[in-house]
Amino acid sequence: MMLTGIATQGHHSNNECVSKYRLEYSVDGAAWFTYTQSFGNPGNKIVELAANTDCSSVFKNKFLYEVNARLLKIVVKDWHSAICLRVQVFGYKGELNLMLKYVAVLALLGHFLDFSYNLCQLIRLG
């Protein structure tokens, strides 16, 4: 799958949402890559994507380049009140320009391992 963007939304009634995250992706689950400013340059800066500033709106990010992936990790870096994340991933498969119909509900807490929610799960995208 070629991924072209991502949209996020929080939980409006509890004012809970993610405000910043980074992405990791893989084709096979063995080799993982971090989304950076440009593809294929080892010295690139890791991109921390902005997410919701309010917890009811949908916030969309268009990727700087297409990402070839079957697995996607969302590494949460900052949030409001609590981590709540609804995600839609956009892209296409093969030569056809189809919008993905997969909704990933995945977040990784990085170094916040004492957090009470278990969000470390992988969602297969294809």
Kindly list the structural domains of the chain, giving each domain's residue range(s) and its CATH number in brackets, ordered by start.
2-124 (2.60.120.260)
Q: Tokens 């093969």 map to which residue?
A: 94
Q: What are the tens digits of pLDDT across the range 77-118?
A: 999 999 988 899 998 875 433 333 333 333 333 333 223 233
Sign of the C-alpha dihedral computed for residues 35, 40, 43 and 44 taken in this order: negative
Average pLDDT of the segment spanning 57-80:
92
pLDDT at residue number 1: 85
Helix (H, G, I), strand (E, B) or coil at 14: helix
Structure tokens at 114: 């004492």
Strand partners, 106: none
Count of alpha carbons within 13 angstroms of residue 24, beta-carbon side? 20
Residue 20 is predicted with a pLDDT of 95
What's the pLDDT at 38?
A: 79
pTM metric for this prediction: 0.71
pLDDT at residue 123 tops 50: no
